[in-house]
Chain A
């Protein structure tokens, strides 16, 4: 071994590495892909805020050398909205879990998308509440076994692509951690869009989801992704439900719409101007 350094050495908070994620967990791949996107775009790390909620993936905020914000459970999008409105110069990316964003945080998500707040939201969907012991949640597939559905899940999961598209997101994509190149390209695209973009990343949690569903290792889970994946760019979001047989991937939405920040700051300037004239 020589003194060659990993290319992301300076992008990570070294004292926090190695991270706490299990062997075979996909969260590190998402972090890797996110850093690659920032690097490719040559974005100044001082102009980026990485906001995360609570959960295994939430730890991501402690590992990146961007400014970061580890918020309370379910509130990542709400805190991020505040950051973005207070300082529109910053790129604000939310990286959080399926439970955090769509169970306790569901309302924040749909309304931020509706208002088109200029945020990049990346959801690590591992189909479960990883950190608290693998309970079922709003993305757990029907019939799946979890620590709290020992006979199989009787609830229908959200189709996050459909939810984001219907709520008004201007960019919506889904990849798995095996499609890391395309994921990076999507993150780059999202970071350059004005408005609310959403990327769902299907990611392995062999430790506490896979183990109940006959996929003991990260490779077992990634091989399931490989087998079930179908890339269908710009196909109907309503038809993008995830089943054991089929995981539809691709970009689903890419539209333009003025962001909440632009409209709000524009209106504020207009009203201030009007008041100044009125006072004269």
Chain B
């Protein structure tokens, strides 16, 4: 297990390094940020001074080398726009995004798994058909459109919930979260629901497919032949088996929740990393874009690692050291 984790961390290091090359050179191809940063009536001397100040006069490989040198020391460069370290900016916006993503994951699990279980156990029931139709909608409707509809319905028409921004936060174990205040929960509900719709649909489909497959397995028939109650068959025999794919996939999807939050955060003016990224892209704030992407890569690598570990805990047949490099 320890060997496995160390090897995976070394792989992660390599992945992050390769990504840094791609991201850094990629970002340098799109647009010249200098005209976004200097005032329109600045003269040539001002522009050149700005270019020098930002280090953009050096050859690209030298810029990259300097970036890498800083990165090793935990410095991903300063934001062109804010003049602050990019990493600090991102970390500052991270809790808002994480609580949004966790709330969405929570909704996906508490709605998706029971609905999927029901429709898997009673596939011919009209309610199940309704659930499946709903999940198709959840998959196919674009997130931004659903977000706008949610705002229209709950915020504009009914006026039940606020449509923009993050509400009050309170500190729990030293973390500022809106989940600790009623106002905060009211604010996070719509964006979290919007972000989770796709994942609710995914959880429904996964659970349903798993239940239907498991119910036809010999081990279910054998358990019935032992006289085991239906409740125990469903919640012990079947659930324990389908939790393996469900947890694995939902865990891996957590990274994409953070990624997708870019759209949701923009619609709901949620002050998270996604919103920061969009603003940074519009202003060609290269260091922030690069830092965001690096952090996302790190996130995905860590999530994968955690899912692998979780998987080996859930499935007794899997042992981590058995997996090759």
Chains A and B come from one and the same complex: no
